[in-house]
A and B are shown apart, each in its own frame.
Chain A
Amino acid sequence: MKKSIYRLYTFLVYFFLYAPIIVLIVYSFNESSSRGKWGGFSLKWYAELFDNPTIMTSLKNTLLIALLSAVIATIIGTLAAIGIHKLKPFTKNFVMDITYLPVLNPDIVTGISLMLLFVFLSIPLGFVSLLLSHITFNIPYVILNVMPKLKQLNPNTYEAALDLGASPIYAYSKVILPEIAPGILTGFLFALTLSIDDFVVSFFTTGPGVSTLSITIYSMTRKGIKPEINALSALMFITVLILLFIVNYRSENSKKENIDEQNI
């Protein structure tokens, strides 16, 4: 009895969480272009999606900015974490406090402060300003993911490599880097998703003519969302879902392998 109440409750909450997503995906197969009217099953929006230049350009911008900003943020952030890790506690706390600012600050404040900067430096608002902003809010997440891995490191292994004649750079790439690699990867994935999902910061730092998907969707909400967008988001959602399941499955498997190795 108690169990079935628990199950019912869980089901209801999940229903609430997934209802809009189901609606979106179902309506992406709707023949009629008006929302709320069902005109029969059709795949036409999936076909028209690829002929819509606005959506295709914003998709390209979104992916390009996400990839570039994540790569650059991962490089700067990883190096920063290695450097910050070596600082004395007082300076370290000071630097980390500033690093936390973009994480804790409301997005809207980050967005307008960056906009003020670009206007102040007379950098035109557009692709470059978008990219710089995305790198800025991505870096802290890379640092926050790499730092704990550095803390767990055993400093002796690095020293041992040096004693055995490795150059510092060689020792770093062979000893330290493999150890902190999981943190770097998580940071990179974090950066990628944050960048793809961002709307508020992009909204304030982009200029005329350059749109990411979020911005295109936002401007469409005033005139009515094009059904092609539903099709695109259904495709993206399914892609992400499959990727996540693969990652999850692989990490479960590697956990098992690790246990096996330990048993041997």
Chain B
Amino acid sequence: MKKNKSFCAYPYYVWMITFIVIPLLLVLWYALFKSENDSIVFTTEYIKRFFEPIYIQVFLRSIVLAVISTAICLVIGYPLAYILAGKTFKHKNMLMFLVIVPMWMNFLLRTYAWLTILEKNGILNQILRFLNLPTQNILYTNYAVILGMVYNYLPFMVLPLYTVLSKMDINLINAAEDLGANKLTVFKKVVFPLSLPGVVSGITMTFMPAVTTFVISKLLGGGQTTLIGDLIENQFKVANDWNFGSALSLILMVIILLSMRVMTKYEQENEGGGLF
């Protein structure tokens, strides 16, 4: 078609270079260069500092909490997606819609509401006391942070799983059953392998935001749980060490983008049916 249409995108190219490319180059710059005696020198000092035990510990904690919450999301989300995609309910789309609706309420408020439920004299403990059960103090522990992550990111897990499961060819399941497979075998050999692309994109969409959050750990962890996100936020808002903050962001970005690459490769090979 006509060549002259490509000028349409010129404003965007300017925007893209100014607001996407240059900012990331600035992160790179702050992470790798420092000014010393009026001259600018290349340094790996900030990158190296990340590998000090105290920071590696923070990083590992972020990974562990994110892995646990992603696993819980999968364990809770898979059966839900499976049930919603099945024959139990008539208004499937409406129910699926209701999974996403909570995301339209400000996520800080939703997370904050858990304080009212979990605190010492909160709703949960009042109910437990009423039932004469021992009260629980999980607020400001890792458990509360995991709960916050599961709560916030569960819809991201259910959505791609539902998409894959509801598109699955029912004839394949019928064929397996006709050939004598029991329910468990059908699930293990047919349903689950076919739903793997959904599982992969669900894991990606849950794990990525969980590993980089700093709000959930601040609100529900009460400052007891420092995650990599808190560490970065701290460098820019409190410690004013922009070089180290940029180095941390750079490392985080590289890890996330690389794992995304691996995940999407995997998905393409399996002709994924996720969100992207």
- Once bound together, how far apart are the Cα atoms of A4 and B270, in whole Å? 35
Name the distance in Å between B226's Cβ and chain A's nearest Cβ. 14
- Once bound together, how far apart are the Cα atoms of A110 and B253, in whole Å? 10
Once A112-B246, A115-B236, A116-B26 are accepted as A-B contacts, the answer to whether A23 and B113 lie under 8 Å apart by CB is yes
Residues of B near A218 (CB, < 8 A) are 108, 215
Name the distance in Å between B249's Cβ and chain A's nearest Cβ. 5
Is A17 touching B112 in the complex (CB atoms < 8 A)? no
Per-residue B-contact encoding for A1-40, CB less than 8 Å = 1, 0 else: 0010011011001101111110110010000000110000
Per-residue A-contact encoding for B76-119, CB less than 8 Å = 1, 0 else: 10011001101011000001011101111111111111111101
- Once bound together, how far apart are the Cα atoms of A98 and B236, in whole Å? 25
| A83 close to B (CB within 8 Å) | yes
Chain A, residue nearest B120 (CB): A36
Residue of A9, A112, A135, A229 with most chain B CB atoms under a 10 A cut-off: A112
Residues of A near B103 (CB, < 8 A) are 197
Number of residues from B at the complex interface, CB < 8 A: 81
Once A6-B88, A113-B26, A117-B26 are accepted as A-B contacts, the answer to whether A136 and B15 lie under 8 Å apart by CB is yes
> Which residues of chain B have a CB within 8 Å of any CB of chain A?
1-13, 15-16, 18-24, 26-27, 30, 76, 79-80, 83-84, 86, 88-89, 95, 97-99, 101-117, 119, 121-123, 151, 154-155, 208-209, 212, 214-215, 218-219, 229, 232-233, 236, 242, 245-246, 249, 252-253, 256-257, 260
> Which residues of chain A have a CB within 8 Å of any CB of chain B?
3, 6-7, 9-10, 13-14, 16-21, 23-24, 27, 35-36, 76-77, 79-84, 86-87, 95, 98-99, 101-102, 104-110, 112-117, 120, 132-133, 135-136, 139, 143, 155, 158-159, 168, 193, 197, 199-200, 204, 213-214, 217-218, 221, 225, 229-230, 233, 236-237, 240-241, 244, 248
Other than the known A135-B19, A136-B19, what 10 A-B pairs have Cβ atoms closer than 8 Å? A81-B9, A98-B16, A99-B20, A109-B212, A112-B246, A117-B19, A199-B215, A221-B219, A236-B106, A244-B104
5 closest A-B pairs by beta carbon, nearest first, are A83-B9, A80-B12, A20-B113, A113-B23, A106-B212
